[in-house]
Structure 1
Amino acid sequence: MSSTEQPLQWRIGLIGYGEVGRILAEDLRQQNIVVSAYDVKLGTAAESPLREHASRFGVTLAASVTELAVTADLIISAVTASQAMAVAADCADAIRANAWFLDFNSASPGAKIRAAESVEAAGGRYVEGAVMTSVPPHRIRVPLLLGGPHARTLEPLLKAVGFQAQVTSEKLGVASATKMCRSVMIKGLEAMVIESLTTSRAYGVEDRVLESLAETFPGIDWERQATYFFQRVIEHGRRRSEEVREVAETVREAGLTPWSSSGTAERQSWVADLADQGVFGARGEPAFARSPDWRTEADRILARIDNENSNKDRMA
């Protein structure tokens, strides 16, 4: 492909057909772009929603990463942080010469550099992408930082199909570092709010705590923000905990000990475990937005803790 590439005629392959992948698929298919997708849930008991969505929007599901890679002009990798390196390596076995590989994943700068080496060695063109806020409200137009030596060439092509892309550096790792450092704050704040308000609920002082927060940070609606944080972590805590472990690795790569980030990853993973156990409702129900009040979810957490403590007392 050359600088005269026509992105509307691309065949785009999405690796990862979760929330982000499905949103991108919908927006790309509205432009009649040919889209294929692969997800590790295909071939498992959890594949039905993916197949239903693909059928509804005209997305071709691939049987493997390599099957997807051999036909794609642009590959977008949007998987969990723990899968990011493996996906890049798998694509390197099948990527077409000069095909694009856009790495959407939340990974450390070092991980992005290693992923780029795999793709570039196989003849692909690797561009790191850092998604700078939650995808659902913005959809394909979510703010996206691009990095790497091929980023400036890819930028206008992505914009042509609706991405809100901006080159931040031709050096790999800069876009990722920007996102990871932001996540120290954002994901950390989520964990701190859940820990603080669940504890304050246990002591019956939540209203005073919220009043004090409102005085200190008057620009934040803490009731609304707290409910949003609880909801997002209940729904996406597993993926977020993996991301924050990459955040911790980013901190280590800078020479610091990631005490805060490591704690955040543990809290996010802990909430995800509770969600898997059905603490926030029946298994199979969508956890997100189940309760319009964070207190309901805090009470469910406290009830589980009380139950566990009672069981320990009986066994003592």
Structure 2
Amino acid sequence: MTISTIALIGFGEVGQALATELSQRPDLTLKVYDLTLFDNRSTVARAAAAGHVVRCRSAAEAAKGADLIISAVTAAQTEAAARSVVLGLKAGAWFMDLNSASPEAKIAAAHIIEGATGRYVEASVMSPIEPKRLASPILLGGPHAEMFASLIGALGFAGATYYSDIPGRAAATKLCRSVMIKGLEALISESLLSARYYGVEDVVLESLNNLFPYPDWEGYARYMISRTLEHGARRSEEMREAARTVAEAGLTPWMSEAIADRQAWAPDYAKALKTEGLKPMLDAIRDQIHNRKDAAE
């Protein structure tokens, strides 16, 4: 099956990164839909207006005639996004679900698409979408995944590989990994913000290097904290899905839920991103915490 028309459902960070490269291909028509696509105040609207894409008023309109639909919405909207394209979905169209949702949510979305005669493929992006974009490592899962893997490479998805024909396994892999990665971000944030208050951050960092050798722990810590400040809202939602995944495995997701809370907390202090270096960043966050407490009293 030749793919000549692609619909992007969701035009946030992931959607825009994919569109930047896909829209450069003269053999492709790229249609997009996002809830804020026609709100001229939104960054989504500005990005779409500046790109070579066809803006659509509904997900069904974007899906109409599309050979491939890529769902790149927030995790909580995974099933809703699948339902939203059904009226425009043509028989045999591919539906690539990039959302960081739990295995159960992915399986539910698959039932929606398959019930509408589409071909559902779950896709778990195993790294930040930037800077690799289409070349980002992506695990493909579900009964159509192997066939889809041989097709999608021609579109430039160089990092997409067949992973499993078992529904939900790719999602489980990503979210179990997220417990570790997002957990490290949350732990580093909480540890070093507290250590800075007590003036012991240098010794803490030195001791971390003894346990987990790294050439630049200070720079690494700043990077990890900056990820929470910049992307904490999306990360917290992903961690809610990770908690759901842990619960589906029969465990109480104490850690995942705490990580989600810390990630959700962080973006309120995003002004600290303007600083240079770890200690100024920690100080900027702590100053904002102090100011908020004073304002509340």
CA drift at 1:222: 1.4
1:157 aligns with 2:151: yes
**TM-score normalised by L of structure 1:** 0.89
CA drift at 1:226: 1.3
CA drift at 1:114: 0.4
CA drift at 1:311: 4.4
Task: Verify the 8 A CA contact 1:227 1:292 in the aligned structure 2.
Answer: no
Which of 275, 291, 296 is matched with 1:307 structurally? 291
Which of 86, 92, 95 is matched with 1:92 structurally? 86
Task: Verify the 8 A CA contact 2:125 2:137 in the aligned structure 1.
Answer: yes
Q: Tell me the distance in 1 between the aligned counterparts of 2:246 and 2:224.
A: 23
Aligned length: 295
- What's 2:217 paired with? 222
- What's 1:17 paired with? 11
CA drift at 1:162: 1.1
The code of the aligned residue for 1:81 comes to: A
1:294 aligns with 2:288: no
- What's 1:102 paired with? 96
Residues 173, 31 of structure 1: CA spacing in aligned structure 2 closer, same or farther, 3 A cutoff?
same
| 3-state SS, counterpart of residue 135 of structure 1 | coil
- Alpha-carbon RMSD across the aligned residues, in angstroms, is 1.6
Q: Tell me the distance in 2 between the aligned counterparts of 1:85 and 1:292.
A: 41
Which of 166, 170, 174 is matched with 1:171 structurally? 166
**TM-score normalised by L of structure 2:** 0.94
Residues 118-161 of structure 1: CA deviation (Å, up to 9, x unaligned): 11101111000000011102111000000001111111111111
The code of the aligned residue for 1:117 comes to: H
Q: Tell me the distance in 2 between the aligned counterparts of 1:258 and 1:294.
A: 30
The code of the aligned residue for 2:289 comes to: I
Q: Tell me the distance in 2 between the aligned counterparts of 1:294 and 1:269.
A: 21
Q: Tell me the distance in 1 between the aligned counterparts of 2:132 and 2:277.
A: 24
Q: Tell me the distance in 2 between the aligned counterparts of 1:92 and 1:171.
A: 23
CA drift at 1:71: 2.4
Task: Verify the 8 A CA contact 1:35 1:60 in the aligned structure 2.
Answer: yes
| 3-state SS, counterpart of residue 137 of structure 1 | coil
**Structure 1 alignment gaps of length 5 or more:** 282-286
Task: Verify the 8 A CA contact 2:40 2:46 in the aligned structure 1.
Answer: no
Q: Equivalent pairs: percent with the same residue?
A: 48
